[in-house]
């Protein structure tokens, strides 16, 4: 049985064929290349909201396909990002406040969601999804992960969360033993720096392209526009330059873990 995205891709293809358009002609109509259209229809590229919007506009559907896309379960941005994440060969992940989701323990993940207005079954679903994505670190070939954390990430917790933080930091150290995982810490002595504006991730894809995901108070923004990705990469380099070297970072995490025991 096809999932919802596969069904919608099939419907978009059927709409193209019904109008007697080749993939190249359809691409011109929606301002995408014919190769891009073919890759979406063949499953080599994920279906994204910008593509769906372009089809709606070109075919004057009144937003029909976007509404279908939005009703497929997860928020559009998360669905898009998970697909990019699954295809990625590398992730560069910066976090000023939280442990990156791909490195979280279950208890820590649940704690990060505790303040949200979510039903218990929604929390279970989100935690399960977050933990499931950690399989990327153990696939063959494994995902190359470089994570840079502000020191506040390993220092901030309430008194009753000491055991949780100890377990989380021990998990971070265990993950850092993997040869394809690098974790760095920006020390608090750095003071104000560019990374305090918010977290972001840059995914490197098999074809050499990159996709960025910048988080915010509302819906995160996902972009593959070269100029946007270049901005994130420039910011990444500046943040990375402020971080401690790998071994010093691990020593800082060990020190923080000891402080929570």
d(CA 193, CA 211): 23
Q: Give 49's contacts (C-beta < 8 A, 6+ positions apart).
A: 66, 69, 76, 80
- The phi and psi torsions of 140 (rounded to 5 degrees) equal -125, 115
Tell me, what CATH number does 66's domain have?
1.10.260.40
Of 148 and 223, more confident? 148
Is residue 5 within 8 A of residue 52, CB to CB? The reply is: no
Sign of CA dihedral 185, 190, 194, 199: positive
Q: How far is CA 88 from the centre of its chain?
A: 10
- 100 with 221, same domain: the answer is yes
- 50 with 164, same domain: the answer is no
- Percent helix, strand and coil across the chain, each to the nearest 5: 60, 10, 30
Q: 1-57: per-residue pLDDT in tens?
A: 345 778 889 999 999 999 999 999 999 999 999 999 999 999 888 888 789 889 999
Of 88 and 44, more confident? 88
Is residue 243 within 8 A of residue 151, CB to CB? The reply is: no
pLDDT at 111: 93
Of 181, 255, 225, the residue nearest 48 (C-alpha): 225
pLDDT at 127: 84
Q: Which of 12, 37, 70 is the last residue of a domain?
A: 70
Q: 112-146: per-residue pLDDT in tens?
A: 988 777 777 677 777 877 888 888 999 999 999 99
Q: Which of 16, 44, 70 is the last residue of a domain?
A: 70
- 106 with 28, same domain: the answer is no
* Confidence class for position 174, pLDDT limits 50, 70, 90: very high
Q: 197-246: per-residue pLDDT in tens?
A: 999 999 999 999 999 999 876 677 888 989 999 999 999 999 999 999 99
Q: 59-69: per-residue pLDDT in tens?
A: 999 988 887 77
Residue 131 has which token pair? 């933990």
- 14 with 132, same domain: the answer is no
Helix axis angle for 162-176 and 106-113, nearest 10°, is: 120
d(CA 200, CA 222): 10
Q: What is the DSSP letter of 142?
A: P
pLDDT at 106: 93
Q: Is the pLDDT of residue 92 over 50?
A: yes
Of 76, 126, 73, the residue nearest 104 (C-alpha): 126
Q: Is the pLDDT of residue 74 over 60?
A: no
The number of distinct structural domains making up the chain is 2
pLDDT at 81: 84
| 3-class SS letters over 81-99 | HHHHHHHCCEEEEEECCCC
pLDDT at 252: 98
pLDDT at 1: 37
Tell me, what CATH number does 130's domain have?
3.30.870
| Tokens 């293809």 belong to residue | 13
What is the domain range of residue 19?
4-70
pLDDT at 28: 96
- 26 with 134, same domain: the answer is no
Residue 213 has which token pair? 């995901």
């Amino acid at each position: 049985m096809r999932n919802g995205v596969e069904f919608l891709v099939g419907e978009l293809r059927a709409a193209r064929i019904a109008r007697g358009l080749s993939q190249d002609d359809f691409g011109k109509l929606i301002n995408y290349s014919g190769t891009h259209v073919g890759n979406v229809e063949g499953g080599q590229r994920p279906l994204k909201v910008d593509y769906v919007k372009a089809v709606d506009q070109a075919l004057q559907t009144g937003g029909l396909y976007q509404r279908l896309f939005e009703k497929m379960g997860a928020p559009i941005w998360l669905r898009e990002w998970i697909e990019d994440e699954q295809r990625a060969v590398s992730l560069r992940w910066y976090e000023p406040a939280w442990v990156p989701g791909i490195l979280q323990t279950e208890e820590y993940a649940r704690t990060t969601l505790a303040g949200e207005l979510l039903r218990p079954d929604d929390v279970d679903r989100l935690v399960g999804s977050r933990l499931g994505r950690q399989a990327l670190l153990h696939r063959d070939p494994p995902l190359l992960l470089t994570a840079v954390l502000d020191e506040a990430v390993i220092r901030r917790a309430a008194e009753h969360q000491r055991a949780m933080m100890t377990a989380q930091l021990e998990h971070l150290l265990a993950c850092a033993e993997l040869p394809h995982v690098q974790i760095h810490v920006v020390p608090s002595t750095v003071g104000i720096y560019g990374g305090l504006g918010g977290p972001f991730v840059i995914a490197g894809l098999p074809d050499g392209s990159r996709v960025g995901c910048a988080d915010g108070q509302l819906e995160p923004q996902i972009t593959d526009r070269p100029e946007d990705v270049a901005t994130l990469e420039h910011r990444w380099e500046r943040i990375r330059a402020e971080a401690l070297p790998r071994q010093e970072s691990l020593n800082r995490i060990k020190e923080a873990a000891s402080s929570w025991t």
